Amino acid sequence: MSLVSLFTDVASEMLYPIMPIYLKSINFSIVLIGVLEGIAEATAGLSKGYFGKLSDNQSLRVPFVRWGYLLSALSKPLMALFTFPLWIFGARTIDRFGKGIRTGARDAMLSDEATPETKGRVFGFHRSMDTLGAVIGPLSALAFLYFYPGQYKTLFFVAFVPGMLAIAFTFLLRDKNPTPKEHTLPTPFTGFLRYWNESPGAYKKLVAGLVMFTLFNSSDVFLLLKIKEAGQSDTTCIFIYVCYNLVYALASYPIGILADRLGLKKIFIVGLVLFTAVYAGMAVANSLYAFLGLFCIYGIYAAATEGIAKAWISNITNKKDTATAIGTYSSFQSIGAMVASSLAGLLWYKFGAAATFTATAVVTGLVVVYFMGLKGERK
């Protein structure tokens, strides 16, 4: 599973740091970029809950994983075929729809390979491998653009190759229960919302805090745009993004081990504190070294939160509902990301970058206080 994620991230992250540059080159405004990212994340969100519930109902994981990664791979060349806004929106949405199909099933497979005492390291190892792809991808993009400057469209076709390698690795995966349940009831598209009503209280408290954070945690595209706005080159943007992912990849597994020993909650809160510091710093940063330092800290934040949150959720929910629980959380998270990215675009347009980053830092500080007061959860 980690190899599948690695090659998928090589493909995705070849494009991610140049995405805002490419979109601006085809006349997308900052507001339209924010709306694009928001709609894409909302699509992923609405589908994550449904397909997570469907995966649990059918007791199947691999078909959801394979089809999800396939759609994401196919979306890469589609982004470069035409530059019409509706076409770009459609291709980006297909990519996120693929993420929605696979997320719950993938994370449930990871959870099944762990015990409550090893969830942090299992999810941490997966994040390390996944993010290693986010180092290789931008470096590959950097090398390509060095020899073929400005050839953004061609890069989208090149990214299709590692995407298909990821699909090949999905054929090595096997379901523990290869025969789906018989006589399962139909799964309504909003069926995952019922789980929210039936879920444990600890799950509701945890997810409520996570969603509060997500509502102001906009796409990383805005961090890259701030670097670009400060006068840094495309190459510098990609280099800084590579450094962030390298720190993220190197830190995820050891931080996962540390979380198993000290508690998932403690490590998650430390991650949020680091996030607050980074966004406060981005509001005033203008130099290369400031951006580089902040993005390295940002990598530690990501390692201390992304996999840890899912490990925490899987520890406080029933094993048979793992895909539904993570899918439901991911749905709320993606809808929150839609709001966050759209709001960030508007704040930036009206008041500038500093206001956008300052508002995010202030709200995250309040979320830290919320999590510090959270009681009664299994760590």
* DSSP 8-class letter at 193: H
pTM of the model: 0.78
Please report how the helices 264-282 and 353-372 are oriented relative to each other, as an axis angle in degrees rounded to 10: 160
How far apart, in whole angstroms, are the C-alpha atoms of residue 6 and residue 29? 31
pLDDT confidence of residue 187: 60
378 in any annotated domain:
no
Give pLDDT, residue 318.
Answer: 83
pLDDT tens-place string over residues 281-314: 998 888 889 999 999 999 999 999 988 988 888 8
- Note whether residue 208 is domain-resident: yes
Over residues 115-142, the mean pLDDT reads 86
Domain count, the chain: 1
Question: What are 344-361's pLDDT values in tens digits?
Answer: 878 888 888 888 889 889
In a domain, 183, yes or no: no
CATH number for the domain harbouring residue 210: 1.20.1250.20
pLDDT band at 99 (very low <50, low <70, confident <90, very high): confident
Q: Is residue 182 part of a domain?
A: no
Cβ neighbours around 118 below 10 Å, total: 16
The verdict on residue 231 lying in a domain is yes
The pLDDT assigned to 275 comes to 94
Q: Is there a domain that residue 189 lies in?
A: no
Q: Could you read off the pLDDT of 242-282 as tens digits, one per residue?
A: 889 899 999 999 999 999 899 899 999 999 999 999 999 99
Average of per-residue pLDDT across 67-81: 88
Structural domain that includes position 166: 2-170+199-372
Residues 6+ apart with CB under 8 A from 124: 252, 253, 254, 255, 256, 257, 259, 303, 307, 308, 311
Give yes or no for a contact between 367 and 340, defined as CB atoms under 8 angstroms apart.
Answer: no
